Amino acid sequence: MNKRWTISKIKEFVENNSESKLLTTEYHGFSQKLLFKCTCGSNFEKTFTKFKNNNQRKCDVCQPPQASR
């Protein structure tokens, strides 16, 4: 199933599945980094794929990157 994500669907996903806010207003594809605002007030960038699939839903200060294997 290939789900087409739009900026409005992404914004709804972010609001329903995290405490962060989506600041980006346009979506051009899965490789694009989106701008988010963390609950601590910091802005951070992640691709939507990482945000959605890897549960990277906060800034690097609140949720440090996981060490690679």
Read off the pLDDT of residues 26-64 as tens digits, 9 standing for 90 and up.
999 889 999 999 999 999 999 999 999 988 999 999 987
The whole model's pTM is what? Answer: 0.86
Question: Which segments of 1-69 does DSSP mark as H helices, in order?
Answer: 7-17, 48-53
Residues 6 or more apart from 36 whose CB is under 8 A from it? 14, 20, 21, 22, 23, 24, 43, 44, 45, 46, 51, 59
Parse the chain into domains and list their residue ranges: 7-54
Per-residue model confidence as pLDDT tens digits over 2-33: 578 999 999 999 999 999 999 999 999 889 99
Confidence label for 1 from pLDDT (cuts 50, 70 and 90) = very low
Residues 6 or more apart from 60 whose CB is under 8 A from it? 44
